[in-house]
């Protein structure tokens, strides 16, 4: 029958009157509910949980909720009955501390073991021939943010989830949007020194973690080529439009200057013409640079992302350590025990002060 260890614990802490008046009826209710269930193991587990919650609720509130326990009467106006034995405060603290240590250890052992794999990627600058202007590039952190927005999009990550059958347990109960958000939290990118950055993925299976990291690194490599081509094509398209607009403006100003002749009114038009001509020359030079960049990318000698250190199968887990949970559980048990004992002493002290006040009134 369930509740044997609860009763044993109560005998170490509470007096016989409290055990018979409060603890035994509580455990008895749990046993009745447990023995009369028809729902199998799940129903019996619920019955146990109901009983455990009721028992520990009594332990937690007992020191501050009652001035005397049911079934006990004060032997004098000043002296109240003791619901705990003389050694019970120390026993209570020790038992709760040990129980917290055990519960924390078991909880830590039940947590999934996590592994992490990393891939290091280097940004190789364009191999520009002599005499060719080197194209300007944005900073690596800015480019990483832009590429992350594409690579970590729901569409991309959903494909990776399906490709490697990730988060199988979560797929049974959660929607894909939540699973993708979970995967984003398991992915990290960080800029290292210079033009080097790192891609990391954390998961439960070391081989799968390595394969997913490889896939993510390959996505960054592919996206770097596409990103360069998109930027070169976008820059060239913008320059072509600006050149056409400037050429039209140049033709218009030339016509206005011819109509103005050589008088004083023609001077502003000559200055405007000179400014537009300089802008037009600058745009033509920029277009030549964009064409050169596009040519470099097509010949695959432009800026590239190169896999410097491929992902490997992690040999050691990164956590969680069950000992951290063990210490946390022990600290929690110790804290609860101390609070209960302090609450009991405080209640008794207040009760005695009231008794003294009543006796001297």
- Per the structure block, which two tokens stand in for 326? 């063990």
pLDDT for the residue 157? 94
3-class SS of residue 14: strand
Distances 307 to 184, 224, 228, 311 between C-alpha atoms, Å: 22, 12, 17, 9
In whole angstroms, give the CA distance from residue 256 to residue 94: 99
- Per the structure block, which two tokens stand in for 353? 């002060």
| Residue where the block lists tokens 């302090």 | 342
189 in Cβ contact with 198 (< 8 Å):
yes
Phi, psi values for residue 196, rounded to 5°: -125, 135
Look up residue 36 and give its DSSP letter.
T
pLDDT for the residue 138? 61
Per-domain boundaries in the chain: 4-111+320-360, 115-309
pLDDT for the residue 60? 65
pLDDT for the residue 297? 60
pLDDT in tens, the chain (361 residues): 678 888 887 777 677 777 888 888 888 888 888 888 776 777 888 888 888 888 877 776 665 554 444 434 444 333 344 445 545 667 777 877 888 888 888 888 778 889 999 999 988 776 555 444 455 556 667 777 878 888 999 999 999 999 999 999 888 899 999 999 999 999 999 888 878 999 999 999 999 999 999 999 999 888 877 766 666 677 778 888 888 999 888 888 888 877 777 666 677 778 888 888 899 898 888 888 777 766 666 655 445 788 889 999 999 888 777 788 888 888 988 888 788 777 666 666 666 666 666 666 5
H/E segment holding residue 255: helix 206-260
pLDDT for the residue 81? 41
- Per the structure block, which two tokens stand in for 183? 């995967």
Q: What is the number of other CB atoms lying within 10 angstroms of the CB of residue 44? A: 15
H/E segment holding residue 197: strand 196-203
């Amino acid at each position: 029958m369930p509740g044997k260890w609860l009763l044993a614990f109560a005998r170490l802490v509470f007096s016989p009157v409290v055990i018979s008046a409060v603890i035994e009826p509580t455990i008895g209710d749990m046993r009745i509910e447990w023995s009369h269930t028809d729902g199998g193991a799940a129903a019996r587990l619920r019955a146990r949980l109901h009983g455990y919650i009721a028992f520990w609720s009594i332990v937690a509130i007992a020191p501050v909720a009652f001035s005397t326990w049911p079934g006990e009467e004060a032997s004098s106006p000043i002296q109240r009955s003791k619901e705990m034995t003389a050694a019970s405060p120390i026993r209570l603290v020790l038992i709760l501390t040990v129980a917290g240590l055990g519960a924390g250890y078991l909880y830590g052992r039940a947590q999934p073991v996590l592994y992490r794999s990393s891939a290091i990627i280097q940004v190789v600058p364009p191999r520009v021939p002599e005499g060719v202007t080197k194209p300007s590039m944005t900073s690596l952190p800015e480019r990483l943010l832009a590429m992350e927005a594409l690579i970590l999009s729901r569409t991309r990550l959903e494909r990776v989830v399906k490709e490697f059958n990730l988060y199988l347990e979560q797929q049974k109960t959660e929607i894909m949007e939540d699973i993708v958000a979970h995967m984003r939290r398991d992915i990290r990118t960080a800029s290292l020194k210079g033009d080097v950055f790192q891609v990391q993925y954390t998961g439960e299976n070391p081989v799968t973690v390595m394969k997913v990291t490889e896939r993510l690194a390959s996505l960054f490599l592919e996206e770097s080529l596409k990103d360069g081509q998109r930027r070169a094509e976008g820059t060239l398209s913008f320059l072509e439009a600006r050149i056409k607009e400037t050429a039209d403006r140049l033709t218009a100003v030339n016509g206005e200057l011819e109509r103005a002749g050589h008088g004083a009114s023609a001077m502003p038009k000559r200055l405007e013409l000179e400014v537009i001509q300089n802008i037009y020359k600058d745009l033509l030079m920029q277009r030549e640079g964009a064409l050169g960049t596009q040519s470099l990318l097509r010949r695959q000698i432009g800026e590239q992302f190169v896999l410097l250190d491929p992902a490997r199968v992690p040999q050691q887990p990164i956590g969680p350590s069950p000992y951290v949970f063990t210490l946390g559980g022990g600290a929690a048990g110790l804290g609860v025990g101390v609070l209960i004992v302090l609450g009991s002493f405080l209640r008794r002290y207040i009760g005695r002060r009231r008794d003294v006040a009543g006796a001297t009134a």
